[in-house]
Amino acid sequence: MTVVERLSFKGFSRSNNGQTRFAGQPYKLLLVANPKGGVGKSSLSVLLTAFSGLERVLFADIDPQQSTKLAFEAMFGEEATSNSLLEITNLGDIEKVIRKVAGQPKRTILIDTPAGMTPDAIAKQPLVSLLLVPVSSSAVEMRATFNFISGLLAKNYTVPILIVPNKIDDNSDLLRIIAEFGKLPCMLATPIPYDKNIEKLLAEQQFPGQLSDLRKAAFPLIRSINNAIKSPHLPASNLRQID
């Protein structure tokens, strides 16, 4: 496949293989967002980081509740957490972070956002590599999430969107999500099952489990995220399953 730049903006570029660069240097910025509270934004952030380890990820928790940061402290300790923490408090600082990180060995950036972010605020950030939108199969969560994604698309959002089914118990949960989002030009990740370790970690900031268990749980998800980044060219419509 020929790689062509399909977005070029103030030194930033996105190729048709999904790679984002600044001044020619690659970076990967994963933004986790959904205005609906409690859908699993922080849980997803924790799972992704548990897999890669804080030595390979820089993260920002722009939620004043700081539950992702606290969960990282429970898993990795305070020192490792503070070494990987990007001290930004709003999305307007994304550009600053990318300038600093592009081309560095630790060039994966993960940003967890709070509930209540509007499509407008998210759409103002076109330099994101992949937008991750967790959602469970609850009707209320799916409706709010559908409205959020529709709002982004109405603003001609150029960042590829990966919907991440969360708290999935069985096939019927997944089928409900496919039915709800089936007509959107988005990608669908391998689902995150309901997981007691994640529940405890986020709800109580305690981590009684083994990191290796979380890593195992995260593996299929990491693979679908990597594949989603590599293939952001979407069909004109319709949800696409990415394994």
Ligand X SMILES: Nc1ncnc2c1ncn2[C@@H]1O[C@H](COP(=O)(O)OP(=O)(O)OP(=O)(O)O)[C@@H](O)[C@H]1O
Contact between 209 and ligand X by CB under 6 A: the answer reads: no
Contact between 41 and ligand X by CB under 6 A: the answer reads: yes
**Helix pair angle (211-230, 196-204), 10° resolution:** 100
- Min dist. Cβ of residue 179 to ligand X (A): 21
Q: Of 7, 70, 85, 115, which one interacts with ligand X (CB under 6 A)?
A: 115
The option from Mg ion, ligand X, none interacting with 202 (CB < 5 to 8 A, set by class) reads ligand X
The secondary structure of residue 85, as a DSSP letter, is B
Q: Under a CB-based contact definition with an 8 Å cutoff, are residues 59 and 41 in contact? A: no
Give Cβ neighbours of residue 235 (< 8 Å, ≥ 6 apart).
185
Q: Which stretch binds ligand X (CB under 6 A): 33-41, 50-58, 101-109, 234-242?
A: 33-41
Q: Of 54, 117, 127, 192, which one interacts with ligand X (CB under 6 A)?
A: 192
Residue with tokens 């997803």: 44
The option from Mg ion, ligand X, none interacting with 198 (CB < 5 to 8 A, set by class) reads ligand X
Contact between 69 and ligand X by CB under 6 A: the answer reads: no
C-alpha dist (Å) from residue 213 to 42, 170, 197, 217: 18, 20, 9, 6
Beta carbon nearer to ligand X, 46 or 228? 46
Q: In whole angstroms, give the CA distance from residue 229 to residue 44.
A: 17
Contact between 117 and ligand X by CB under 6 A: the answer reads: no
Contact between 218 and ligand X by CB under 6 A: the answer reads: no
The option from ligand X, Mg ion, none interacting with 203 (CB < 5 to 8 A, set by class) reads ligand X
Contact between 194 and ligand X by CB under 6 A: the answer reads: yes
The option from Mg ion, ligand X, none interacting with 69 (CB < 5 to 8 A, set by class) reads none
Q: In whole angstroms, give the CA distance from residue 201 to residue 70.
A: 9
The option from Mg ion, ligand X, none interacting with 209 (CB < 5 to 8 A, set by class) reads none
What DSSP string describes 149-198?
Answer: HHHHHHTT--S-EEEEE-SB-SHHHHHHHHHHHTTSS-EEPPPPBP-HHH
- Min dist. Cβ of residue 60 to Mg ion (A): 13
Q: In whole angstroms, give the CA distance from residue 180 to residue 107.
A: 34
Contact between 38 and ligand X by CB under 6 A: the answer reads: yes
Q: Which residues bind Mg ion (CB under 5 A)?
A: 41-42
Contact between 74 and ligand X by CB under 6 A: the answer reads: no
Residue 237, classified by CB atoms within 10 Å of its CB into exposed (0-12), middle (13-18) or buried (19+), is: exposed
The option from ligand X, Mg ion, none interacting with 141 (CB < 5 to 8 A, set by class) reads none
Q: What are the structure tokens assigned to 22, written together?
A: 């600044």
**Interacting residues toward ligand X by CB under 6 A:** 37-43, 63, 67, 114-115, 166-167, 192, 194-195, 198-199, 202-203
